[in-house]
């Protein structure tokens, strides 16, 4: 059974930092691409960042480029999202998702088949 478990969310002040983790089980982790997506109330789920199975292909949305960093540790079956210089517009539920690498590498939520339950990030001003 595939499971993705996010952690690390919370309440932070403007300009602060958080590090999200996504631990994957039930899949051969070396064979999956992983993405972070977020959804704010009343808005569509949007991509934040994605990383392919090798860690060599990385995609960021324009809104987080230069502030967020995605990385993976294949020895721990975990993908991280380091978020710096957080702003109120970063407030959302953050989800990680997995995609079999043999399908190709995409950073499109419609291409991801397995999802976690999400972790809430709230940035207060």
Q: How far apart are alpha carbons 92 and 76 in whole angstroms?
A: 26
- pLDDT, position 58: 98
Q: How far apart are alpha carbons 5 and 15 in whole angstroms?
A: 26
Mean pLDDT by 10 residues, the chain (125 residues): 96 98 95 97 97 97 98 97 98 97 92 96 96
Partners of 6 in beta bridges = 22
Q: How far apart are alpha carbons 12 and 8 in whole angstroms?
A: 11
Burial class (CB within 10 angstroms; exposed 0-12, middle 13-18, buried 19+) of 115: middle
Q: Give the pair of three-digit tokens for residue 101.
A: 């690498």
Contact between 17 and 80 (Cβ < 8 Å): no
Q: How far apart are alpha carbons 116 and 98 in whole angstroms?
A: 9
- pLDDT, position 88: 97
- pLDDT, position 53: 96
Q: How many Cβ atoms sit within 10 Å of the Cβ of residue 121?
A: 22
């Amino acid at each position: 059974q595939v499971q993705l478990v996010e952690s690390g969310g919370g309440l932070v002040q403007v300009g602060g930092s958080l590090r999200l983790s996504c631990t994957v089980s039930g899949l051969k982790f070396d064979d999956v691409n992983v993405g972070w997506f977020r959804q704010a109330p009343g808005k569509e789920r949007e991509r934040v960042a994605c990383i392919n199975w090798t860690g060599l292909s990385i995609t960021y949305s324009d809104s987080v480029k230069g502030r967020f960093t995605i990385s993976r540790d294949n020895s721990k079956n975990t993908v991280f999202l380091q978020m710096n210089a957080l702003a109120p517009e970063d407030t959302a539920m953050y989800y990680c998702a997995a995609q079999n690498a043999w399908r190709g590498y995409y950073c499109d939520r419609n291409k991801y088949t397995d999802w976690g339950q999400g972790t809430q990030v709230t940035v207060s001003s």
